Amino acid sequence: MPRLWRGLERLTARDGAEGSQSMAMTELARELEELIAALDRRVPRVEQAGEADIARDAAALRAKAVDRLAKLLCEGAVSPDLPVGDPT
């Protein structure tokens, strides 16, 4: 996830323009959607040692991504018309 923030900071610091920040937020929303979808596709491997911890961490990460995506939508940083998907 740090890559997402580095990219966002780079875009907003370089231009400082409203349009660039909006584009960065849209990209962040799309990447959050991709992360959520990947976590949803994850199949637990019950035979793997530490799977309970991995599943718990994945669920926590998914919840944070959903919350962040919802905040972007509520703050108006991302248009609800954009095809970023369902944050649930």
| Short-list 43, 42, 38, 33, CA closest to 65 | 33
Q: What's this model's pTM, rounded to 2 decimal places?
A: 0.65
Q: Encoding tokens for residue 21?
A: 């920040």
- Give the start-to-end residue ranges of the domains of the chain: 2-74
pLDDT in tens, 16-73: 555 677 778 889 999 999 999 999 999 988 888 999 999 999 999 999 999 999 998 8
Amino acid at 85: G
Q: Is the CB of residue 61 less than 8 Å from the CB of residue 79? A: no
